[in-house]
Structure 1
Amino acid sequence: MPYVLANSYDADLKIWSGSEIEEYFAPDLSIGEIIFHEMRRHPKLIAQISTTEETILTREELHSNAMRVASYMRSKGLLQSDIVGIIARNTSHIPAVAYGCFFNGIAFHSLNIAYDRGTIEKLFSITHPRMIFCDGDEYEKVRDATRGMEDVEIVTMRNHPEGGSTPIEQILSSPIEENFRPVRLEQGIDQTLAILCSSGTTGIPKAVTITNSRQILAGSQDLTTADIQYTHSSLDWITGLLTTVTSGVYSTTRILADNVFDPVYMMRLIEEYRITWILQAPSHMAMMVNSREFESTDFSSIRKYLFGGGRASVETQHLIRSRLSSDCLHFAYGFTELGAMATMNYHFDEKPNSVGRLVSGLKAKIISEEGESLDRDEVGEVCIRNGQHWAGYYGNPEESHKVRDSHGWFHTGDLGYMDDDGFLYIVERKKDMLKYQNIMYYPNDIETIISEMPDVAEVCVFGVWDPINGDEAAAAVVKRQGSDLKAQDIVDYVRGHTDAKYKHLNGGAIIMEDLKRSPNGKTNRMSTKAYFLEVKDRN
């Protein structure tokens, strides 16, 4: 029997509600306090295994390392009002850095390693971190980006440069403060836990604050000490933060890997470590099913397979499900500003195209362009309310008010609708709307058609401007391994599967080895389009 999320509907207010949150911990405890106490309860359990650095740490060892990091920060005079910067891979000691920050009530601002010097400079100039943790590989880039900031200590996690940085080993050999205890938060659970970055597909990413509220645990309460967790996401992405938090709270074993994502390596990890819980990007799923090793990999250990951050074709989902020993592949829809999952779909067979029902503690409504609440099966902007404090985009109140209104509703920018059973369907991003000869359409309309082609692994559709027609649809496609698919095949297929001329690939199609992506792994529609135009110009 699939897990059931209970939703209710207020027909007068036209608002859907998830079930009430069940509190497993005292409501005034911070995330840091919970993790501190839980780690002491299970000292001998294995906390983490780094497969790329070949390290194993028990919870006792990880707890000690986290206290040393926290004690070092205290010795340097860092306060709860200070910020710590992180720009690093999933290396052995990054969890200790995160937990050390949690123990001290200090928020960390985490950036992706792929950011260039200019982006790092702009983002860290917003939060002014006192201490920055990075790999030696990024040291010079980080140093140059922070030259104008005073008293910034850079700690390197590995590949230490000669001089200039503090090696993490120096901190891990420093003393633990006598009678060490996690701090009580000055602002209670409303205090900021971490600062992440928006996906950044348009312009410079924003610094998104995440609070200490329990909402980040929603949908993960079934984790136990027997679980083995894995996500390839690093700490700059909400899925990386969520996995770090839940592994600490529920005393699981976490598998770490700091390599560039490799689908074959990922499948080997699943087999070798008997991974039970996965949180993955749809693009990584597509890469896995497109690998020769997919059919021979043993996925039987997995009991919960979550994916989110973008769409996965129904075909990809079917292929993944065919290899699992139970019905445990679930779409998790959410957004960084919420700091948690918003909905989960535990009913793929009945609702294959839905992102699911609301998780506990949330409310949702669908609104028109005029801001009026819409009824069931009516398409509008999806709005979510969690009733929790949100500090907004760090240092950017104007943009904060655009995404969260005065009544506490997050305006997602996603167009969708709720059906009679309380299942949410996402139609498209509002900003992705295109117009061909003044007829409105969305890239997903065409992506859905192309995804039905058996030789298509991934697809990205975008508009190419034509002075007469407006936005002509064009497609970039990754074909399945061994396929002889041609670009013209895709154009012909779309033309044969829709009578709407404005949905034809009037702008053409290309085959790519891989789509262009944002640092967090999402398909970057703008960059893929730019590559498409570059290729077309050359030809």
Structure 2
Amino acid sequence: MLNQGLGSWIHRRRIKSHGRVALINGAQSVSYEQLAERIDRLANALGDAGIKPGDRVAYLGNNHPAFLETLFACGSIGAIFVPINTRLAPGEVAFALEDSGTSLLINARQSEGLAVAAIEKTPVSARWVVEDEAATVGTYETAIRQATADHQELSVGLDDAAIILYTSGTTGNPKGAILTHGNLTWNSLNVLVDYDVTSAQVALMIAPMFHVASLGMGALPTLLKGGTLVLQDRFEPAGVLAAIEQYGVTALSGVPTTYQMLAEHPNWEATDISSIRMLTCGGSAVPARVMDAYEQRGLSFSGGYGMTETSPGATSLQPEYSREKAGSAGLPHFFTGIRIVDAGGEDVPANDVGEILIQGPNVIPGYWERQDATAGSFQDGDWFKSGDIGYVDDQGFLYIADRLKDMIISGGENIYPAQVEQAIMELPAVASVAVIGVPDDKWGEAVHAVIVPTSGQRITRDDIAAHLDGKLARYKIPRTIEVVDDLPRTASGKIRKTDLRENHRKGALA
């Protein structure tokens, strides 16, 4: 078997799942045979365009069959897939393209403006547009149509890089996490074991697949098992409810905000959701009122914890524990291990707080051309240092106590304050700033900036928003700001963000 990676999956499913539907995209229904042929054609088109094993091919667009076709076609010829968040600013997209050394960019028609703005001064030498036959550059469908349908069987191993996925930088620029074919395969096996995925699964993809949670926990395990993906390019509650009923959706994955918006929609009570067998929720704990709304209709949530660097699953909380272990991230996935260590790297007893370390074949080998970041991210060989702190109880259930990296999760998006702070500090009117996450009923957390202005200067939220527009993704721009005379600091000068969060909480209660 020459190709042991993702690129072989759909080719094998062509026979094993003959006649079954692989993808549904609006009115379009794609069988495994049709999907396999398109992947073969695209793989040959990439080769005709000069893409070789190890070359990087980026995709900029929301959920669409072309996203998955590009991923699997890259895997067929040993190229590396670089999915890019469509909500990023042009400069952030350009950084990912340049840092990864991407030579070909495939973008959706809806992302055309962002693609054009981003590729200047990057190594991208060719660009194909999806669903735009009038494009002045190459078109995706033309490339597929002109290529042969011959299947290539190239040597691709489980240790070879499959994806470079950029994570928000904690100290500035993002890092490209290298997810190997083995990482993604073992993560999918963890999902199949711990969530009892069957070939009858119909998974509605409402979260963007350029996020590793949607891709790794939903799309890939479903296709590995021979199920069906129903793709939606954006979240719209009425459309989600209609799709559940129309297609007999059995699995749904999202963040607390999406589930809350579904339960609050006028069509909620009238929609037949009896087909659903699995609800998974990530990003943050499910609020009690949201759990109540679904339990009244016979459904309970699965939860979990993970990150890009674990492809992404580290733990899972099964529905039977959703109430008994409320607030827990669950037990380690079947092929994954968890340790809690103190500041000296020594294991701590149950219920003691420390840093969470993760080990398993789903853990990445490192970061793209960042040996420094890679070396500092592991302990005792292959135990990944998550940067999060927590504890495990006497039964082995993990609880997240805090985030060492101060990461903010807003609407399922990861936001690192340091990047936002650096951008705000470019303003002459800002003397110092601290960015924190504050509770938000709709998004889970919202970005809040605490600012000390330069002497004699005045700063407003509109000033901040205008400065950051185009520099950062809109979801990273602070929704609220607070102007103060000074920031609380430790003896060494570090800002005490715990104090800022507490002060904000007290102010909200006052």
Q: Using structure 2 for the length normalisation, give the TM-score.
A: 0.77
Query: Which residue of structure 2 aligns with residue 34 of structure 1?
Result: 9
The answer as to 2:237 corresponding to 1:263 is yes
1:192 to 161, 182, 185: 161
User: 8 Å contact 1:275–1:302 — kept in the other structure?
Assistant: yes
1:423 to 397, 419, 430: 397
Partner secondary structure for residue 268 of structure 2: helix
The answer as to 2:318 corresponding to 1:343 is no
Query: Which residue of structure 1 aligns with residue 177 of structure 2?
Result: 208
Query: Which residue of structure 2 aligns with residue 531 of structure 1?
Result: 479
1:56 to 29, 44, 59: 29
Change (3 A) 1:162 1:219: closer
RMSD over aligned CA atoms reads 3.0
Query: Which residue of structure 2 aligns with residue 111 of structure 1?
Result: 84
User: 8 Å contact 2:315–2:332 — kept in the other structure?
Assistant: yes
User: 8 Å contact 1:216–1:339 — kept in the other structure?
Assistant: yes
CA-to-aligned-CA distance 1:235-280 (integer Å, 9 cap, x gap)? 321123223322331111110111x311222122111111001121
The answer as to 2:153 corresponding to 1:182 is yes
Structure 2: where are the runs of 5+ without partners? 409-435, 453-471, 485-510
Structure 1: where are the runs of 5+ without partners? 1-25, 435-442, 468-517
User: 8 Å contact 1:404–1:411 — kept in the other structure?
Assistant: yes
CA-to-aligned-CA distance 1:415-460 (integer Å, 9 cap, x gap)? 21101111111122123399xxxxxxxx89x95xxx9xxxx55553
Partner secondary structure for residue 190 of structure 1: coil
The answer as to 2:377 corresponding to 1:399 is no
Give the aligned residue type for 2:35.
L
User: 8 Å contact 1:384–1:410 — kept in the other structure?
Assistant: yes
State the distance in 2 between where 1:126 and 1:432 align: 25
The answer as to 2:15 corresponding to 1:43 is no
Query: Which residue of structure 1 aligns with residue 457 of structure 2?
Result: none
Change (3 A) 1:277 1:199: farther
Partner secondary structure for residue 480 of structure 2: helix
| Percentage identity across paired residues of the two chains | 22
2:345 to 371, 385, 407: 371
State the distance in 2 between where 1:127 and 1:296 align: 48
Query: Which residue of structure 2 aligns with residue 244 of structure 1?
Result: 219
Q: Which runs of 4+ in 1 moved over 6 A?
A: 461-464
User: 8 Å contact 1:136–1:160 — kept in the other structure?
Assistant: no
Query: Which residue of structure 2 aligns with residue 331 of structure 1?
Result: 303
User: 8 Å contact 2:62–2:210 — kept in the other structure?
Assistant: no
Change (3 A) 1:292 1:389: closer
Q: Which has the higher contact order (CA 8 A, sep 6+)?
A: 1
**1:42: how far off?**
1.7
Query: Which residue of structure 1 aligns with residue 191 of structure 2?
Result: 219
Change (3 A) 1:92 1:458: closer
Change (3 A) 1:397 1:344: same
Query: Which residue of structure 2 aligns with residue 353 of structure 1?
Result: 327
1:146 to 109, 119, 124: 119
Query: Which residue of structure 2 aligns with residue 131 of structure 1?
Result: 104
User: 8 Å contact 1:193–1:209 — kept in the other structure?
Assistant: yes
Give the aligned residue type for 1:246.
P
Change (3 A) 1:314 1:535: farther
User: 8 Å contact 1:88–1:234 — kept in the other structure?
Assistant: no
Which residues of 2 match residues 70-109 of structure 1 at below 5 A?
70-109=43-82
Partner secondary structure for residue 390 of structure 1: coil
Change (3 A) 1:233 1:465: closer
Aligned length, in residue pairs: 431
Give the aligned residue type for 2:46.
M
Change (3 A) 1:459 1:121: closer
State the distance in 2 between where 1:46 and 1:309 align: 30
User: 8 Å contact 1:36–1:103 — kept in the other structure?
Assistant: no
User: 8 Å contact 2:451–2:482 — kept in the other structure?
Assistant: no
Partner secondary structure for residue 296 of structure 2: helix
State the distance in 1 between where 2:123 and 2:166 align: 23
CA-to-aligned-CA distance 1:488-533 (integer Å, 9 cap, x gap)? xxxxxxxxxxxxxxxxxxxxxxxxxxxxxx97x9xx6x63xx2211
**1:169: how far off?**
1.5
Give the aligned residue type for 2:107.
C
State the distance in 2 between where 1:433 and 1:98 align: 28
State the distance in 1 between where 2:349 and 2:327 align: 19
